[in-house]
Structure 1
Amino acid sequence: MTRKCTRTEREPTIALINIVFLMLVFFMVVGTLAAPLDGKLALVRTDGIEATAPSDALVIHPDGRMSHMGAPVGSAIAFFDTLPHEARSRVRIVPDRDLPAHQLVTLGRTLREAGAGTVVIVTERGLQ
């Protein structure tokens, strides 16, 4: 009497899991976007640095007054007219946090109508 050996069909899921895991490890190692920093490198600390507005920006005070590089400016159009032509494509304004929003929106519209390509509002986080 001979016994027949019955083989059961095994699913190749373990082999598939191993291949996927190895591919994951491979792409994690190869996919490094930037070289690591030198371990002895000490980065600059910015804890005590006071942020100041960019010099080419129009500063708007809480009462609506405007200034550029410390000098008072009569209107947004007057400020825009003093800009060199290459600076008119991107006009930066630094509003005080207490300036009413409707005044800031009106100022932005005025600069766009005057010919500004983009009006960028510089915020506190952008200064740091």
Structure 2
Amino acid sequence: MSARFTRRRSEPILTLINVVFLLLAFFLVAGTLAARPPADLQLVALPEGARAPEPGRVALSAQGDILWPEGVADASAFIAQLPPEAGGVARILPDRAAPAPALVALARDLSAAGAQGIRLVAERGEAP
């Protein structure tokens, strides 16, 4: 009488757990690599809200100072470094207390530098 060994199949749930764990690790790393806007920047609030900021954004402070991303000094350099997925669209994150003339001047500069479009980014919530 010979002993017969049957091969045991691995649990299919283990594969699912491995995939979920790898996705979790990926999103944790990807989320921490994204550049964050300045901490004291308070975005404009709209009742309908807007989508989360995407690549290709520049901030405008309450004092009217333009806060370019790292390594960018002016509108031309900003447009040149826009990622392909932005589609040539520049996004402005204005502080809710930013002066309107500074916002208009920034939008004109970006448009003159070759921006295909300009979007204002706001946060969801009630307007104050």
Q: Given the two structures, how large is their TM-score scaled by the length of structure 2?
A: 0.47
Give the greater-gyration-radius structure (CA): 1
Larger relative contact order (Cα-Cα within 8 Å, sequence gap ≥ 6): 2
Q: Given the two structures, how large is their TM-score scaled by the length of structure 1?
A: 0.47
